[in-house]
Amino acid sequence: MKILVTIPVQERHRKRFQNIAPEAEFIYRAAGETDRELVQDMDIIIGNVNPALIAGTQNLKWLQLNSAGTDGYLAEGILPPGASLTNATGAYGLAISEHMLGMVLVLKKKLDRYMKNQLDGVWKDEGNVTSVWGSTTLIIGLGDIGSQFAIRMKALGSRIIGIRRTRAQRPEFVDELYQPDHLDACLPQADIVAMCLPGTRETQQIMNRQRLGKMKREAILVNVGRGTAVDTQALTDALREGSIGGAALDVTDPEPLPPDHPLWKAPNLILTPHVSGQYHLAETHERILEIAACNLEAFLKGQPLKNVVDPATGYRALP
């Protein structure tokens, strides 16, 4: 059995994988250093590779992604019939929810303005600020990342409204829980609108000009899912016109955002280049490898895998 690992590993990780599958041949390569011949020869792939390199393979039995998103892997002809696809849902909630919280606090406390004043050598009071306490946070996409953000905002005194794709029991850290058909009714209530959505046909520009218009004038939009979930031009206009209070984005459409794009210069905007997840927090890396190791052991024992992706939705299949 040949297993390709594209996730960065240390010797202790290699030993763990080898102990789980002592008879397997492990090949460790960075994702960008793989080629079609190598990928086509693998029985198992642990980590993301270019989906085009997988297309046409007859050997692949299981692909474990190091991402929560499954963009490109579910297209017709990529995975062979019967191959399992699992993702890294559960690994990113800590890092991304803290990133979201940081961006929200920067905007609510006007720290971005004070940082600019510091660089300009200007001693200036920027006026009143707002608090998370007593606010309402609307979270669109109540998976691992959205739930972790909800827990943190709830702890700081925010009322939490959750929107999730399917019906489920309301978690104790959520005050109200709805399905997407209730989104328009929830938007006017929110002081913070947090988007934690994957890139699917259903989420394409779900936050359009009309829905941005339903937000409070002082509300903040946060997006850490996919940039395609927001109408970029409509958001740029809303920020310029002051029809919403601000935006905190870790993802954009297009991405990377071109240097001359007007969104860069929009007021009350915190923009980071899709860095809230990845391996920037060491714990995220460890959690991804833990998911991969547990799934490798389960796969070899013929046991159910964790985080199996539903090909019809692109989401982790519900138990």
- Which of these, 4, 2, 159, 11, lies nearest to 66 by C-alpha position? 4
Secondary structure class of 285 (helix, strand, coil): helix
Q: Which tokens hold the place of 227?
A: 């940039």
d(CA 51, CA 45) in angstroms, rounded, equals 12
**Helices 111-120 and 93-108, interaxial angle, to 10°?**
70
Written as six digits, the tokens of 48 are: 């993301």
For the packed helices 282-301 and 93-108, what is the interaxial angle rounded to 10 degrees? 150
Give, rounded to a whole angstrom, the gap between the first and last alpha carbons of the chain. 29
Report pLDDT digits (tens) over 58-88.
999 999 999 998 989 999 999 999 999 999 9
Which tens digit of pLDDT belongs to each residue from 167-202? 889 999 999 999 999 999 999 999 999 999 988 888
Tens digit of each residue's pLDDT (9 = 90 or more) over 230-275 = 999 999 999 999 999 999 999 999 999 999 999 999 999 999 999 9
Alpha-carbon dihedral angle through residues 110, 112, 117, 118, given to the nearest 10 degrees: 120
Q: Would you say 168 and 143 are in contact if contact means Cβ atoms under 8 Å apart?
A: no
As to burial, measured by CB atoms within 10 angstroms (0-12 exposed, 13-18 middle, 19+ buried), residue 82 is exposed
- At residue 153, the 3 state secondary structure works out as helix
Amino acid at 123: W
Taking phi first (over 0 means left), then psi (-120 to 50 degrees means alpha), and beta for anything else, what does residue 258 get? beta
pLDDT computed for residue 312 by the predictor: 82
Distance between CA 315 and CA 262 in Å, rounded?
33
Nearest to 264 by CA among 240, 231, 229, 230: 240
Distance CA 301, CA 295 (A): 10
Please give the pLDDT value at position 201: 85
pLDDT at residue 57 is higher than 70: yes
**Residue where the block lists tokens 């393979």:** 57
Q: Average the pLDDT over 287-314 and give the result.
A: 95
Q: What's the confidence (pLDDT) of residue 170?
A: 96
Catalytic (active-site) positions: 226, 255, 274
User: Average of pLDDT values for 109-117?
Assistant: 98
Is the per-residue pLDDT at 318 higher than 80?
no
Per DSSP, 193 falls in state E
DSSP assignment letter at 227: G
Q: In the numeric block, which tokens belong to residue 257?
A: 């955002």
Identify the pLDDT of residue 7.
Answer: 97
List beta partners, residue 162.
139, 177
Q: How far apart are CA 54 and CA 32, in angstroms?
A: 14
